[in-house]
Chain A
Amino acid sequence: EVQLVETGGGLIQPGGSLRLSCAASGFTVSSNYMSWVRQAPGKGLEWVSVIYSGGSTYYADSVKGRFTISRDNSKNTLYLQMNSLRAEDTAVYYCAGDSSSSRLDYWGQGTLVTVSS
């Protein structure tokens, strides 16, 4: 059974940094396409970033230059390093993955990031 478990969320002041983790079991992070998707409270889903199986990374304009997606193959874990956080980054962050880049079949339960002073 595939499990994706996000950790690392919390309350952070504007301008601060946070690193989210997504530990996978039953699923090999390095062999699949892994994404971060966020959802602001009471709002819709927003695609944030993807890392391809070959290692290429891509970002939404809203986070480009501030967020970095990466993975640790030895730990089978996906990361999202978030810098220069803003109030509008407040959201539940989900990690998701699939063997195809055109779909997201496996999702974690999400971790809440709150950016507030």
Chain B
Amino acid sequence: QSALTQPRSVSGSPGQSVTISCTGTSSDVGGYNYVSWYQQHPGKAPKLMIYDVSKRPSGVPDRFSGSKSGNTASLTISGLQAEDEADYYCCSYAGSYTWVFGTGTKVTVL
């Protein structure tokens, strides 16, 4: 159950697009279409942004999109806004009814 690998930080100017990668193995990200993404502002609980690789819960702006290729999943934020500045975590099913989170990425809006 090793944590999935994410870049420590990414940044972009308002209106730009940023992409966060989430790299695992064939035993987790690559083996199942059960990748979700969570946004966490400082001192707050995480918020679900994407589930099942690319599905968006109601209420999440369509600026947020998810995808997967092989053992790497990605979250793209298009049209970056100031309120998108937060930590983002991926999460994947890892088999045997267990789950694993990513190391987390800090998104900075310049």
Contact = CB atoms under 8 A, between A and B. Distances in A.
B49 to A, nearest CB: 10
B36 interface: yes
Interface of A: 35, 37, 44-47, 50, 52, 56, 58-62, 94, 96, 100, 102-105, 107-110
Contact of A58 (B40, B96, B104): B96
A45 B45 contact: no
Contact of B46 (A56, A59, A60, A107): A107
Interface of B: 1, 3, 34, 36, 38, 40, 45-48, 51-52, 57, 89, 91, 93, 96-104
A97 B104 CA distance: 21
Given A94-B45, A103-B51, 13 more contacts: A44-B3, A46-B101, A47-B91, A47-B99, A56-B97, A58-B96, A94-B46, A96-B46, A100-B51, A103-B48, A104-B91, A105-B48, A108-B45
Given A47-B91, A61-B1, A109-B45, A103 B52 contact: yes
Nearest to B45: A107
B89 A45 contact: yes
Contacts of A56: 97
B46 A45 contact: yes
Contacts of A102: 34, 36, 51-52, 93
A108 B47 CA distance: 10
